[in-house]
Chains A and B, each alone.
Chain A
């Protein structure tokens, strides 16, 4: 492999990895607080992508409005799933919550399937994102630069919220012990809602960027992306926001490197991502950022 191809593959890895990272943060946030693998998260991302599609294509909004619309719709869907599906089960065993999450995921997929019709939709990408930047033979598109920056920026914002604000302290405390925190006068439902708002807005953002990078939308697009982002979150150490970002990048790079070196085996690239995950977990069961849930959070 020559240098330019190597450089190009590096760029490809970053662009794919940051996409996974962005979605993985949402998984990790909710898991950290509720110990719930929110399977509906990737479907909220899908809803975000469809909201952007609807705003841009049917209502004729500009990209910034479509962006806002996608985030608002995702947040509303996120809050509603929490209020309707998860809140009544706060005291229930974890497994009920998990099954509910899968149910919500199916519900959202089929809801979109019915409202938008089952055929793949094409998202019309704004001119700006169609530009091509050529750096010494390696080709970049604006999303390849923007998505990693946004991912890192959002990571910093999240870390700031978690460690420097009152709400952040409440979220971390809640992750530690819901009952005691409630006794201290903190409204746990409100804090959990904030977690869902944060997670869902991230899903909305990633939905929009996914639509821009890969402009074909289907109601089931979230399934595989969600599984991979979840794998990324576990790889990085689920519960840790920084770990999720790290895991996302590692997963993205693994996939790209595998396809780059074994193109004839490209059909198995999804499997490789998970095999890699298994190996990491064999040696470090808590993931890379290794959080011990009995001691600390985030």
Chain B
């Protein structure tokens, strides 16, 4: 009798398992710490996409497992270990930024779990990695766009470069910019180095002021950029400033920067002002605005597209938990209609255009689009 019951229970259990299978996608984001604002914007955008579609085509439920990496690379690696060994996720979105993503890709590679990074633009993120992809462009492109814009459009020939040596993203993009800018005939007067988390930049800026550059290019994150902008204004530095996507991503940049950041140029990954090329983009923007009542954040829409690309790949696999198949399909993504536009991946990198904004009245104002 006992045996009969247990068999019945077991078969019942296996039946329910078969009916509502659950596919887990891990999400590693900096929800707190220095770049907590980045992670929160990304997760907001991701949740909008998740609410629009949380089922695979074969009826399986998708579950997101969010882990906070506390803006720290060691925590990012720990989070990846937890996700692959404990939660047994089939794919990972994240670690969001370059430094943190690069700290965790090795773990995902070893476990053969595909990673899709929303905005990790450093060249090395996908280099010689079979399981790492991204839905943004790499800095090989962004650095050139910035250098071209500075030389050809703004016609600024003397530049001081500010690099954050604790930040792989900043180091990578500085390198590309430096090379491209020199090739175009520009002069780098000085390359100054800072540390993420520094607060006082007056000594460095006083020196820069004496050099009298035409442009200060600083591919760094929001908090440091805002403090530099503020102190530069206090010291009366007249040079133009240009940053990259990481500068404007946290609203703290505008709050602290105030009128000190007016007229700053910034390259970006996405702009809500560009014409929508896909159906999903229109739908996504509508849902985003209805839920969050603000303009679509570039990090949010790219986190959403990381999710969409993974779901699209899973739909093409017979078994969505087969990570090797999912990875293959992710990397074969071609002309996928995402929320941020058409997405095509080449060797794990997305081929997409860059946007250049200028800060006006405490907001980003769209200037131009640069195609690869």
Contact = CB atoms under 8 A, between A and B. Distances in A.
B33 interface: yes
Contacts of B193: 263-268
Contact of A214 (B37, B71, B227): B227
Contact of A264 (B192, B234, B236): B192
B226 interface: yes
Interface in A228-285: 255-256, 259-260, 263-270
A121 interface: yes
Interface string A209-237: 01001111011110011000000000000
A121 B207 contact: no
Q: Say whether chain A's binding surface is mostly helix, strand, loop, or mixed.
A: helix
Contact of B234 (A118, A120, A139, A260): A139
A8 B252 contact: no
B200 interface: yes
B32 A113 contact: yes
A16 B203 CA distance: 10
Contacts of B206: 5, 8-9, 12, 260
Contact of A8 (B40, B191, B235, B250): B235
Contact of B223 (A12, A120, A264): A120
A-side interface size class: 35 or more
Interface in B103-154: none
Nearest to B253: A122
B273 interface: no
Interface in A123-158: 123-124, 132, 134, 139, 141
Given A216-B223, A259-B203, A263-B204, A141 B234 contact: yes
Nearest to A1: B210
B197 A139 contact: no
Interface in A19-41: none
A119 B256 contact: no
Interface string B263-300: 00000000000000000000000000000000000000
Contacts of A218: 33-34, 223
A2 interface: yes
A119 B209 contact: no
A86 to B, nearest CB: 28
B161 to A, nearest CB: 10
Given A5-B207, A119-B250, A120-B223, A214 B33 contact: no
Nearest to A19: B200
A267 B165 contact: yes
Which residue of A139, A224, A260 has the most chain B CB atoms within 10 A of its CB atom? A139
Contacts of B230: 215
Nearest to A266: B193
B370 interface: no
B36 interface: yes
Contacts of B68: 118
B195 interface: yes
Contacts of B33: 118, 218, 220
Contacts of A132: 234, 236
B236 A139 contact: yes
B194 interface: yes
A8 to B, nearest CB: 4
B226 A263 contact: no
B346 to A, nearest CB: 34
B252 A119 contact: yes
Contacts of B71: 118
Given A119-B37, A267-B194, A216 B207 contact: no
Contacts of B352: none
Contact of A9 (B200, B203, B236): B203
A51 to B, nearest CB: 19
Contacts of B195: 267, 269-270
B256 A215 contact: yes
B200 A214 contact: yes
B197 A224 contact: yes
29 contacts: A2-B210, A4-B210, A8-B235, A12-B202, A12-B203, A16-B202, A117-B32, A118-B31, A119-B32, A119-B40, A119-B250, A120-B34, A120-B37, A120-B222, A123-B256, A132-B236, A213-B200, A214-B227, A216-B227, A218-B33, A218-B34, A224-B197, A255-B203, A259-B204, A263-B192, A263-B193, A263-B208, A266-B193, A266-B204
Given A118-B32, A214-B199, 16 more contacts: A5-B206, A5-B209, A12-B203, A118-B70, A119-B36, A120-B222, A134-B236, A139-B235, A139-B236, A216-B223, A218-B33, A255-B203, A256-B203, A264-B191, A267-B165, A267-B166
Interface of B: 31-34, 36-37, 40, 68, 70-71, 163, 165-166, 190-195, 197, 199-200, 202-204, 206-210, 222-223, 226-227, 230, 234-236, 250, 252, 255-256
Q: Which are the 7 A-B pairs with shortest beta-carbon distances?
A: A118-B32, A267-B193, A122-B255, A214-B199, A267-B165, A119-B36, A118-B36
